[in-house]
Amino acid sequence: MAEAQTYSGSCQCGAVAYEVTADISTVNECNCSICSKKGLLLAFAPETQFALKKGGSHLTEYKFHKHRIAHLFCSTCGVQSFAKGAMPDGTKMVAINVRCLDGVDLSKLVRKPIDGKSF
């Protein structure tokens, strides 16, 4: 298992920017309606390992299905660079769209298929 590292991330236009410390060596590739249509590759980190650096006022929230995950996207460019939710035990988590992290070689990541359509 790889070690967690600190990454900078942002939306396409740069209005929303953040830092996160996470292990992104394996990412979830979910087939649910939102992840598949957006092409999301997700890694997860405790909310304590995430820091929004700018753009809170640019974020728009979207919830669907069971309304447990706050899908946050930039109101300027429309990119969803992260989402917020909680683990079953209540631990607050952030789902990071790894495609929005700076300097990540996506071809080196292990993609774990998730059957989100069945949830």
CATH number of the CATH domain containing 55 = 2.170.150.70
Provide the pLDDT for residue 45: 96
Structure tokens at 38: 């957006």
What's the rounded mean pLDDT across residues 104-118? 91
Quick check: is 119 in a domain?
Answer: no
In one-letter notation, the amino acid at residue 79 is V
Which tens digit of pLDDT belongs to each residue from 89-103? 999 999 999 999 999
Q: How many domains does the chain have?
A: 1
pTM score above 0.85: yes
Provide the pLDDT for residue 64: 77
Q: Is 115 exposed, middle or buried (0-12, 13-18, 19+ CB in 10 A)?
A: exposed
- Write out the H or E segment, with its range, that includes residue 28: strand 26-30
Which tens digit of pLDDT belongs to each residue from 8-37? 999 999 999 999 999 999 999 999 888 899
Quick check: is 26 in a domain?
Answer: yes
Provide the pLDDT for residue 98: 97
